[in-house]
Structure 1
Amino acid sequence: MSGTDDLPRIIVDTDAGIDDAGALFMLLEAHKKRLVNIVAITTCHGNTTVDNVNRNVLRILDKISMLDQIPVFSGTKSPITRPYFINETEFHGQDGFGDSDLPHPDPQKHLQKMPASLKIVEEVQKRPGSINLLAIGPLTNVAVAKMLEPRLLYRLASLHIMGGNTTGEGNESACGEFNFLNDPEAAQNVLSWDGPSSAESEAESKLCPIFITPWETCLCAINIPYEYRLELGRLETPQAALLNAGEARTMDKKLFRTWITCDQIAAAWMLDVLVGDALKSTGETREALCLAKMETFVSVEVQGTHTRGQMILDRCPFKRFVSYAVPASLLTAVNIATYKRYLTMAFGGEF
């Protein structure tokens, strides 16, 4: 592919902690290979404050000399209806980067003036059916964009989300996954059908495909040992150096039995769907990342004492109990060999 007009166009909405950094490096490598065109990175509260997120995104871009290539748009500082209450310092540190005290470019010089949600709306209105949105943080920016442009889910090419859960297993409450629990109202807003589209064209008459990477898949279906993470960290690349510095505290703690990757798998699935064939070598057999997925209708609980933020699966084959639930594909099994190739790319190695 020679120009950028024919490339899949991507907006990444992120609450950049250290796991987001791996996902961003993966996507930025695909951008450098001219496989995709990242038209914007939008930032959101979540793993840390949005001001810290902005600094983290800028240091990621600066580390691989892409600071002037990808525009960054600052977004929402808090959830839609309730005060920000989650502080993920145990995993990400106060700054979202393991309190590694790494230098960062000046946000005043490098952040765009337009708010993140307006940028999302601008792109889908300007290029309906061509923007692929990856949301790897709380869905506040996306929900605000949907309120501003009610046809958002009809005008996107695809929506990829890391968040939610399928069995009620939580990681921030008994039943709530971190990204959804950070702003349940936003997650419910995004994953809600508002009725038939007042489409201006046939292409906008259907909801875009929605791909969700849920927490249980990250926790149980991707068993990558810490030793493999250490192996990736030995690559002599700028990406590996930054990821090693940011992940040092979590690698020391080993909070889980294996190395848990969440945002990285969502980014890898997006790339595999969009450009998986282009990444493989000539004559190489294509091995898709997704081995199994669940096709169902989903929404989000916002009222329950213990289930607030839990993703609802409306799976009855003959009746919709949640009338506003939207159809989605939920990743349930992964080709580990293929995924490791994407992780290698995230660390600056060859796919």
Structure 2
Amino acid sequence: MTTRLILDCDTGSDDAIAIFAAVTHPDLDLVAVTTVNGNVALEHTTENTLRALDHVGAGVPVYPGAARPFVRPDFPIPRDILNEGSEFQQALLDLPAARSTVEKQNAVRFLIDTYLDDANADVTLVAVGPLTNVALALATEPSLAQRIPRLVLMGGAAFVNGNVSVAAEFNVWVDPEAAEAVLSAGIREVVIVPLDATHSAPLTSVDCDAFDALGTPAATASASLIRHRLTHGQDGPEGSPVHDPMCVAYLARPDLFTESVEAYVSVETTGSRTLGQLLVDTRPWRTEGSNATVALRADHGVYRDFLHTAFE
């Protein structure tokens, strides 16, 4: 059966690949995209989203969302200081300027209206950026927690180091209060894809060659974006974790994750050294029940095959 999804994202390079895959994979139906401040500013995440959709000829509606974190006025360290001197995150993707335009309704209102409609009881919410939009929707309409059938999110580092601090992964660190609010809201099924999983199945130049050989717009653009990550990322030229499409891949290939745990997951919102840390409590004597499934390892072959199927 085809899985319907909404993609909530802060479109940089890996978000764009997730958009391509969500549009082109035969087992997925992308209902809408909502954008949020994150990798780059909201105006750029929105423009990049439109560029990605236009590139593959997809008439999917785009709803702009939050331009700042849920509680904080800015990132814990402002973006221009955090990314100073880095070529990894570019404000605009190297794709033609968008021809399509955004919807008038904002992302938060769209999420509320969508999930209050019984016709959308099967729509998975995939969040691959900071969780600001989702937290705002839940704060505005708390009953939404019982209406969202499944949330799959990219964020956190469970048992490995973070990528923005020793403790924290970027998406959760950007808006830790939003992440904590979402994880404590009581959504019935939450699947978390942290750095543990994404770093276990990096994509390589060989994968890029295979995508280039397909020759489709999604394939060649993805190969180019991955090569940029290989050149300018923190992990070197041998392989790069391409985080966000893994959440989309899981919807079509539930065999993607080879190891996962059920846990009570929360977020550190006050620590001076641990702000944004994802706390994954698997202790059998804990008092709280599990609120999420946390993926720990992924199969590179399954991931590559998912993308190949989407892009061919």
Contact 1:23 1:267 in 2 (8 A): yes
Any residues of structure 2 matched to 1:57-206 within 5 Å, and which?
A: 57-66=49-58, 69-82=59-72, 83-84=74-75, 85-87=78-80, 89=83, 90=86, 92-97=88-93, 100=94, 102-106=95-99, 110-127=101-118, 129-167=121-159, 169-193=161-185
Describe the superposition over 1:190-219 as per-residue Cα deviations: whole angstroms up to 9, x where unpaired: 01146xxxxxxxxxxxx4211110112212
Match of 1:295 in 2: 262
By how many angstroms is 1:149 displaced? 1.6
Contact 1:27 1:271 in 2 (8 A): no
Match of 1:41 in 2: 33
- Take 2:122 and 2:32, find their aligned partners in 1: how far apart are those partners? 14
Q: 1:223 to 1:246 in 2, by over 3 A?
A: closer
- Take 2:67 and 2:251, find their aligned partners in 1: how far apart are those partners? 26
Any residues of structure 2 matched to 1:8-47 within 5 Å, and which?
A: 8-30=3-25, 33=26, 35-47=27-39
SS of corresponding position for 1:12: strand
By how many angstroms is 1:291 displaced? 1.6
Choose 78-87 or 297-306, whichever is displaced more.
Answer: 78-87
- Take 2:302 and 2:208, find their aligned partners in 1: how far apart are those partners? 15
- Take 1:228 and 1:94, find their aligned partners in 2: how far apart are those partners? 23
Structure whose CA Rg is larger: 1
Q: 1:261 to 1:25 in 2, by over 3 A?
A: same
- Take 2:204 and 2:220, find their aligned partners in 1: how far apart are those partners? 20
By how many angstroms is 1:23 displaced? 1.1
Q: Does 1:268 align with 2:258?
A: no
Q: Does 1:259 align with 2:240?
A: yes
By how many angstroms is 1:235 displaced? 2.9
By how many angstroms is 1:104 displaced? 1.6
Describe the superposition over 1:132-179 as per-residue Cα deviations: whole angstroms up to 9, x where unpaired: 100000000000011112122221110000001112511011211000
- Take 2:28 and 2:204, find their aligned partners in 1: how far apart are those partners? 30
SS of corresponding position for 2:291: strand
TM-score by length of 2: 0.89
TM-score by length of 1: 0.80
Pairs aligned (count): 303
Choose 9-18 or 226-235, whichever is displaced more.
Answer: 226-235
SS of corresponding position for 1:117: helix
Residue 284 of structure 2 aligns to which amino acid in structure 1? P
- Take 2:69 and 2:251, find their aligned partners in 1: how far apart are those partners? 26
Describe the superposition over 1:26-76 as per-residue Cα deviations: whole angstroms up to 9, x where unpaired: 11113xx3x33322100001111111111111111111111xx31100011
> What are the ranges of 5 or more consecutive residues in structure 1 without an aligned counterpart?
2-6, 195-206, 274-287
Q: 1:326 to 1:210 in 2, by over 3 A?
A: same
SS of corresponding position for 1:111: coil
- Take 1:130 and 1:264, find their aligned partners in 2: how far apart are those partners? 20
- Take 2:30 and 2:176, find their aligned partners in 1: how far apart are those partners? 27
Match of 1:213 in 2: 193
- Take 2:40 and 2:213, find their aligned partners in 1: how far apart are those partners? 27
By how many angstroms is 1:94 displaced? 3.4
- Take 2:300 and 2:220, find their aligned partners in 1: how far apart are those partners? 24
Residue 11 of structure 1 aligns to which amino acid in structure 2? I
By how many angstroms is 1:91 displaced? 5.4
Residue 222 of structure 1 aligns to which amino acid in structure 2? A
Find 2:275's aligned residue among 304, 308, 314. Answer: 308
Describe the superposition over 1:270-310 as per-residue Cα deviations: whole angstroms up to 9, x where unpaired: 2224xxxxxxxxxxxxxx22222111110111000111101
- Take 1:48 and 1:191, find their aligned partners in 2: how far apart are those partners? 24
SS of corresponding position for 1:59: helix
